Structure 1
Amino acid sequence: MPISDKVRKKLWAKSGNRCAICKAELFSKEAADETLNIGEECHIISSAENGPRHKDGLLNYDSYENLLLLCRNHHKEIDTLIDSYTEDLLMYMKSNHENWVRNTLDQSLGKEEKIQPKLLTRMTSGKELLSILFGIQGCRTDYDEASTEEESEFIGSIFQTLSDYADLSGMGIEPFEKVKIATQLSQLLKELELKGYFLFAERVVENILHNGQKLDNWAIATLILKKADSSEIIML
């Protein structure tokens, strides 16, 4: 069954004509013909038996819920690195991107933003964390106050390591190197848990002002290190 026009329109509208990963504009209003359309409607779960993330028994593989709008480069990447881009991660990225589109449009129209509690996802796998760190242009950090010098040095070393990985990921690394980094990040998360810490993170795209210059569509990561017994952690 092909993707229906109704589903296609809904996907493009909710995605804001932007790639869900890099936020690149997919179809320019200045385009003279359709060859300049770099957007692709990607299946999260493939209908093909040997396709990426395939599962049997899905009633409609061409439903809106199973589609993600991406540029050609990132479509190829998610279908090549299937161990890194899992079904759950892509579902999260789809929801996060569509929320970003809606909030950006609301702000541009001057709508009052509803005050909502800030919820960040706990990082439990290296590939999930790498997807947030990959190619970021800025990072915000926060942590529970350290009670000893040793604890302070440990927290500092963790954020420095994450910063180093973020810098490395933006240098055009090969796919096999991404898998290696994801494994190293998984080991880091296990070390944190043994030390009694959880890492929470999110990735957003913002327009920022730097040295008087407006910078559009910057990928910003937020990393928060909390003690496992913190009262601020909410189990959902």
Structure 2
Amino acid sequence: MSITDKTRKVLWGRSGNLCAFCKTPLVLDASMLDAESVVGDECHIISGAAKGPRHDPSFSPELNDDLSNLLLLCRVHHKLVDDQPETFSAGMLRQLRGNHEAWVKERLRQSDRAEAPTIVRSAADIPTHLLLVTSAKTLLDHAAGCHGRYYDYPDDLSEPDLDAVGAFLQNLTDWIDVGLDEPHERISAQRSLAENMMDLDEAGLRIYLARERQQLRGGIAAPSAFYVLHLRIVRHNDPGQISLGSSESR
């Protein structure tokens, strides 16, 4: 006999694609050049071979490939339990499998009960004024680490001005999404965005922004900070600009 497709599916499903010993994922993601890699083994608790680990002459050969005699392990722990059959007895491995499957079931139950992810805003953290920005460095200081964005710009822009605004917003979005963790990336972003900001200035447009701290709640993780960038593009003569005695304007 051999392990049937149904038995194999039930074993992997109840094990949650995890090693029963160390909880390591047993299917690794594909790379840019190769397909996924399966690093898990369907292990026999009692070996059907006469000199195999935990062999029991009284054990029915018909049950050799039964679900009750199988355990899903990574290849490291498969070798460990077979090299040390006295330490890892049949009873111990059955208990290990039972504990693991119960753990997987409970984790899935908790996931089903988890609150749907949602963003919560606090009135105290919502910016009341936006900062006038004239340098790409200041822009990046505020934009780095933001997970969301609120963009606003005049609705009566000419075609050339609209192209300049679109190019700037797209460029900024791309750099934020890529990440600005490396110095080289940050310098490249600063140089590129400075050119966009010059185009906006020549078109008579200014940039105002602020950073808002929101909170991501729900799911299975603890609440975490969720930063959002408020960015507004206005004309140089926009009457909504109010001096506050510093570089900030409303």
Q: Sort the TM-score into its range (normalised by shorter chain).
A: 0.3 to 0.5
TM-score under structure 2 length normalisation: 0.43
